[in-house]
Every structure is written in structure tokens, then in C-alpha cells.
Structure 1
């Protein structure tokens, strides 16, 4: 029997594309563990190939990764310098330009941080190579592809050595510990990162399998298989003729013609009865749970409210439990790996989470009002944050709610009160003289 060469199915092509990403032209061997892990994907109960590429084809995973990456990447990241009890914006520091404006020649700050956070979400680690000038100062930050990084190797002197299968140079090169900014998203030993895609292979594999089953169900307009019943035993050739006829009518439409007392009964399946829709809904919640994202933020509002204080409290929870932990990890990593040792006690980088109020004028106005009335911001501070020129004078003076007097005048005698007391004292003395 002649065997014809068949094309690989779609999921095989997808797995190949995901595994080859970043490895074109790079020499491979049996010791290339990162490549083979990407090739075979994470092991899971469904048998689906779970790679970064196949995971991102899930709408919920795509939405979660984009939500976290886009939100953090568009928040202002400022560099501050402390002097005593005063913390000021350090625009003259070399890190301000790299972290706030342009990390390298090819990326804006927003694109850089989007890629950085996406690497944390998908590969579980972010790798950035530090470029320096002749004096040792930082000039650029280049993101490396996590799929091309090999496990770290600890030398006898205790220093960590990183090996990178460079897809541009088409060769492997060694990166010293001092030239690599490395941040693991989640680790059990402080060095080796755990990949969310590989650790969550069962969750993502189940979602992929459910999507495949759903596509198969709706592929033919929810037409399911049927039964052709006969009142006699057929010969093989007769069976083939009936199958061809049924298939032709199914593909091209028209009426089915059956002979010899034959009958046709279609098998109907309700996807809701088969819990297919419920399974897909549960997979949305599972993936959101994996990324610690509220389901309503990716469009799954079946079991959540979108009105009143419910949405406000959930938004506060998203900032507190989803965004802030990532912001703190990145901030501390910057202090550890990018700030020079003599400056670590005085220079720091911080995400401005209040930047989330930029699209909410009412909340922003309320925030400024509270800050000025309690003597925390001056009116010029608020004007600067709104990209307005400072007014100077009393606009640059801290005030409080108590008649909005300057904060350094609190406790001094109020002129109006002094005059009132003087009048009362005069009246008292006049009364005493008259007596």
C-alpha cells in the first residue's frame, strides 16, 4: 500500500513555530535544555503542546499579560535622590534617562517595560544586558530573549556566569554577572526562575483542549454526526456508496435520498448540556487566578458587578495585590543591580502608581484637593503634575484646612482674634473704672 506524505496538523506547526522563535541560526545540541523545553512544551494531562506561543493564543492569557504589561509600562518610573529627610527628582542622574525616557537606541521606555514585564509573565524571568562607556557608566539597557538564556553556572569563586545563545551573532557568548540585570518573577532558591507557562501547563493545556473541542463543535454550524439505519445487511460497496452520498449532501446541501427502507437520525448535542461553555468559562477564571488578575478586567463579568463601589473596590484590589507587588520587585531589583554601590542609600527608583488617575479627572481633582488641604502638596506641586507653569508666591506655600493659612504660621495669634481679645479687655477695664 502506498503511503502518502501528509502535512503536519495545525497544532504541530504552532508548536514548531513557538519552539524555533529566537533559535534561528543558533547551534543546537543535546545540552540545549532551554530549546528542548520550548520544543516539547510543558507536560500536562491533556497532551497538548503548551509553549509561550500556544499560551498567548488563548484570549484570556493574552489579555492578562497585556493588561499587566501595558499598565506597568505606562506608569511613570522616576529616579529620586535623598538628602537628609528630603527626596528630590534626580533628572541629572544617568538612570533617569534610561528608566524614564529611553533605555536604548531601539526602544522607548514604554516599549522596554512592556517587553520586560511580558518576559516576567511568560518565561518567569527578565534578562537585561548593561552597556557601559569607557568610564564604567551605564549607556544603554538591552533586553535579552529569555528563550535563548541557558541555566546559570556558579563558578568556584561564587560568581554567577550566564550563557546566551545570541540569535544575532549566531553563537553562544558568556555574560559576566556584573553586566547582566536579572530578575526572577518567582523562585524557590533566589537564582533559578520558575516558568509560569511550564508550571501552569495543566491550566493552559486544559484551556487549549477546550478551545479545540469548541472549535470542532461549531465548525460545521453545530451539526453533529448522525445514524443511517437499514433493514438489511449491506455489502461493503453499498456501505461506501451510502457514506459518500451522505457526505456529499452534508457538504453541498440538498436532500438525502436513501433506499431499501433506510432511515436517518441526527445525533444532537447541546454544548451547554455537555458543560462545554461552563468549562471554557472556568478556564477563564483559572488563567486569571494564575496571573492574579480580576476576571472582569479581561471581559469576564458573569459573576462580578460592574456598578457602584463594587468596581471601585476591585480596582483598588487590582492595584494593591496585582500591580504593587510587581512594582516593588522591579524597584528593589533596580536598586540592587543598576544603582552604583556608593549611591544605594541615597538613590532609588519608584513607579508613580498615582499615574493610574491620569484618565480620571474627578479622582485626580479630589486627590489634589486632599493633598493641598492637608499641607502635603502646594498648589504649584499640583500645577507641575498637570504640566502647567508654577505661579510662585503663595502658590508655592503649604497650607492646611484651618482657613488655609500657611503651614508655618500655625500657632501664631490670628489678627482678628487679637483685636477681639483687646476689645474685650478694654471693655472689662472700662467697667472696672466705672465701678
Structure 2
């Protein structure tokens, strides 16, 4: 967020966003923690990108409850078209959902402006959370959304905004992981900076040149030009210098092994993964001691993340979309739901077991299973089938007998 973003916007001494832009959220390391600085941490960027892209590639479906209690998919419903085909004139559905999830993970809140027609939402325009202020009137307690950008200031009513909140404590806003996890992010930035400065200095620790005699200002400047500057920087690594005039070198920094700099950088990867939704570090390319990229252990970690990390996030988005995007006439009858079967696309064994169970136990037809694999329907594939090894004992063999009788009668006719 740049300073130009605040042009034309009205502020007060209590406007937290404005003052945070200048000083950021303070941390014990002295680093200013802002959404932009957090995005420059490789681990945080990887976590946000992984979660946002995973959610955005799951197809959202719209369902309606039938009188018998079952549900019916509505592929042509305006909400289904909006979420799966064209959320607005500029973005694809994946790009829009990536933006919403990314904003929610960074700021704790994501906003989209609704464009409605005949009672149905026809378009969703992503708004920047850093330019949005949520207020309640002191007298009426009515909620309003004030959006300020260089073009001006707009006030929206709750029915005009899709407000997607992150984990919260029941207030009007979700909690920002950047704000409440600023100590971990500040430590990560300080550790990365320390490592970068060490490498920029040619992996040499800092220290002092000591002289047995007091130097004049001219001698100090001469020593700086002849001793200090030629030996600094990674480009001067390996150079050999000469100490004369009773100079000696005194090291003052701890060696990298003693400071355990690399171990500290590994620790902040785990901390950020916890803050960003219990993401297993291996999913963003970080393997700890005794952990590899392959094997059943990693598959268990992925399933655990899909259950305790991504699953609750999908449920939060589904409930929010069903509440904010479904028309009043359809509310309670129509809802939005992600096709979680897409999470099994990378696990062929689990997908095969699921399909076999569905076909053999009669809760999905073979054509429904083929549709999930983008295969054409087959004749006779719309019938529900089940194995006959669990039929009652008094009916055991009746199907075979009937089939055998029909075949025998056909042979007689021939």
C-alpha cells in the first residue's frame, strides 16, 4: 500500500490504518510488520499462494433442497454462473477467489462489491481491504462500509458488500494474522536481514581494528579508506589485507554456528505455517529432519491439512457466500458448496476406493462417477447398482435363478 492510496481519504487521530502505514505494527525486533513486508517473506508468500490457489481451483456448486430432503444441483442458477464462470468483466473465477482468500489471510477480511439485478447478484468486484473502514452508528448501531481510494469516498450498506471474515471473536471484523502474529513475522524479517547482511559481508564476522596509539582524525580517515572499505562486501571476499602501524583485528560477533542462524530461520518457517492455517511445511518445500517429500507420512500430513486447515476455511467461505450472495427468496433453500472431490484428484488410490465404494454400494451411478473424471456417459450407466452378497438369506440366488431362466427360455426359442 503506497502513500498515494490515501489521497482523497479522510482521517482522524484514531484512524489506525493511516498510522500503521507509516510505522507498521511494532515488533520486539524493531521491524515494522505490514502486509507488504510480510509478503516479502518467502514462507508467508508460499503459504498464502498455496491456500489461495487450492481453494480457487475447487469448483463451487449451487444446490437446492428437494421436498424429499435430497438435494439438486443447479448449474444454471445465477449464483453458479457467477462463481464458476464470470464473477466480473476483468477476472476469471480462479483469480477472483485467489484475491478473496489472499486478502482474508493477510488482512483478516476480504470485501467484494455486489452488482445486483432483479434480486440476484450478477457481478462481484474485489475491493482492497486496506482502503475499507467498517463502522457502526452509535445511535442506531447500523453497520456501514466506507471505501476511500484516489477516486473518492463511497459509503456502502451491508447488503451491497460481500464481507468474508477470517477467524474472529464475534466482532464486525476478522482477526489479521499479520497483526496478531507480528512478533513471529518480525523475528523472521530480522533473521533474514541478519543472514543477508552476513552474506553481503563475505561471510566474515564484524569487529574492530585496534591500534596501540591514539589516532588523529586524518589518520582515522586514512585507515578507513585503506583498511575498512577495501575489505567490506561480498565482492571483496577472499582478499588479503595488510595490517601495519601496530594494528590488530578484534572480532566481536558470534560465529554462525554459535548463533545457530540457520536453525532460527528453520524455526520461523514452522511458526509462519502455523499462523497461516496449520500448513505442513513440506507442502511449501520445507522438509525437516527425518522428513522427505515422498512416502505415506507426507500423504497423512496432506490429509490432515485438508481436514483441519483447508476444510474449515472452505466451510467458512461456503456459509459466507450462501448468506451474502443468495437472494432473499432463495435463502434457506439454495446454498453454495465446493466440490471437495477435487481434493482427491492427486491421490489416485483414494479416488479409486471412493468410486468403487460409490458404485458397489449404490449411492452413485457409474455415469456420475464418469462425469467426475470428465468422461462421457454410457448407456445404462444411470442405474444405481449394489453387490448382492448382502441380500437376505431367503432371497439369496433369486437374481441368478431369474437370469438363468431367461437365458434358458431364449435358448429354447432359438
Task: Name the TM-score, length of structure 2 as normaliser.
Answer: 0.87
Change (3 A) 1:63 1:254: closer
User: Residue 87 of structure 1 is aligned with which of 71, 77, 81?
Assistant: 71
CA change 1:385–1:256 in 2 (3 A) is closer
Gaps of 5+ in 2: 405-414
SS at 1:350 equivalent = strand
Q: 1:207 aligns with which of 163, 171, 188?
A: 188
Residue 386 (structure 2) aligns with: 400
After TM superposition, the structure 1 = structure 2 runs for residues 48-197 of structure 1, keeping only pairs within 5 Å, are 48-83=31-66, 84-133=68-117, 135-154=118-137, 156-167=139-150, 170-197=151-178
Gaps of 5+ in 1: 1-17, 421-435
Deviation at 1:346?
2.0
Does structure 1 residue 380 correspond to structure 2 residue 361? no
Task: Give the deviation of 1:363 after TM superposition.
Answer: 3.4
Are 2:191 and 2:264, in contact at CA under 8 Å, matched by a contact in 1? yes
Residues in 2 aligned to 1:175 and 1:268: alpha-carbon distance in whole angstroms: 56
Contact 1:33 1:150 in 2 (8 A): no
RMSD between aligned alpha carbons?
2.6
- DSSP-derived class of the 1:194 partner: coil
Larger Rg: 1
Q: Taking structure 1 as reference, are residues 70 and 231 closer, same or farther at Cα in structure 2, changes over 3 Å only?
A: same
Q: Structure 2 residue aligned with 1:275, among 249, 260, 264? A: 260
> What residue is the counterpart of 1:341 in the other structure?
328
1:85, CA displacement in angstroms?
A: 2.5
Deviations 1:142-166 (A, max 9, x none): 1111001113223644431211114
Partner of residue 412, structure 2: none
Correspondence for 1:218 among 193, 199, 207: 199
The answer on whether the counterparts of 2:108 and 2:173 sit within 8 Å (CA) in structure 1 is no
In structure 1, the partner of 2:282 is: 296
Deviations 1:364-402 (A, max 9, x none): 333212211121211111111122221132x21111233
Taking the aligned partners of 1:411 and 1:182, their CA distance within structure 2 comes to 57
Work out which of the residue numbers 285, 293, 312 in structure 1 matches 2:270: 285
For residues 73-116 of structure 1, what are the alpha-carbon distances to aligned partners after superposition, in whole Å with 9 as ceiling and x for unaligned? 11111111111232121012110011122111111110010000
Give the secondary structure class of the aligned counterpart of 2:329.
helix
User: Does the CA contact (< 8 Å) of 1:91 and 1:97 recur in 2?
Assistant: yes
Q: Distance in 2 between matches of 1:344 and 1:136?
A: 12
Partner of 2:408: none
